[in-house]
A and B are shown apart, each in its own frame.
Chain A
Amino acid sequence: ETGVTQSPTHLIKTRGQQVTLRCSSQSGHNTVSWYQQALGQGPQFIFQYYREEENGRGNFPPRFSGLQFPNYSSELNVNALELDDSALYLCASSLGGWSPLHFGNGTRLTVT
């Protein structure tokens, strides 16, 4: 089975720009969650998508937005980038319910 894949692996952007990160779910998984992990910290929940609808959001501003497509792949969009947005962005898919999360290897975003 194909695992969770994320693209790109690394990205450098300038403050004020916009960025789109992409995630392909593991086969058969209908739920996607996005996490932000700052250096030396644990991941923080951004939001979750189930059947193309957002159904949970963490403490992140509206400039963080997302999409889930009919094939369950997903995008994370961040507008008006700030220096503090520099982090590893992790996508995780699951079968729903309390099944374990399967993480991709993340996108390392650097904002200069």
Chain B
Amino acid sequence: SQQGEEDPQALSIQEGENATMNCSYKTSINNLQWYRQNSGRGLVHLILIRSNEREKHSGRLRVTLDTSKKSSSLLITASRAADTASYFCATADAGGTSYGKLTFGQGTILTVHP
């Protein structure tokens, strides 16, 4: 079963604009991760934020986490056509011992027009 929902389901922007994707989840988590997937290929890890962190940056990526609202957002600044992909949030349950067990959302399809 899916952990939660991602919003929007699809996002279309122009190169240079910022893209914001939101993720909601249902259970207590140890951490939340964002992954990117290009057209049916494997997923690529982007960033991990722990439950005791509120914000994290990596290059053009900024992730926030609000555990009281059980939500996270991913901001991609100054987007490029190469950022076109599906983006997934994934949660690791608090107290889990299967460290490879992540619960993924349904993803946001981002299209960046040149």
> What total of chain A residues lie within 8 Å of the partner, measured CB to CB?
31
Distance of A31 Cα from B52 Cα, bound (Å): 25
A4-62 contacts to B, CB under 8 A, are 4, 31-33, 40-45, 48, 55-56, 58-59
Determine whether A88 belongs to the interface, using a CB cutoff of 8 Å to chain B: yes
CB distance A101 to B41 under 8 Å?
no
Distance of A88 Cα from B12 Cα, bound (Å): 25
Q: Which residue of A lies closest to B89 (CB)?
A: A42
Determine whether A94 belongs to the interface, using a CB cutoff of 8 Å to chain B: yes
Q: Which of B40, B42, B97, B106 contacts A42 (CB 8 A)?
A: B106
Q: Which of B1, B42, B96, B100 contacts A105 (CB 8 A)?
A: B42
Stretch at the interface among B14-22, B43-51, B72-80: B43-51
CB distance A56 to B100 under 8 Å?
yes
A71-112 interface code vs B (CB 8 A; 1 in, 0 out): 000000000000000001010101011111111111010000
Write out the residue numbers on chain B whose beta carbons fall within 8 Å of the beta carbon of A100.
33, 45, 48
CB distance A92 to B100 under 8 Å?
yes
Which residues in A have some Cβ–Cβ distance to B below 8 Å? 4, 31-33, 40-45, 48, 55-56, 58-59, 88, 90, 92, 94, 96-106, 108
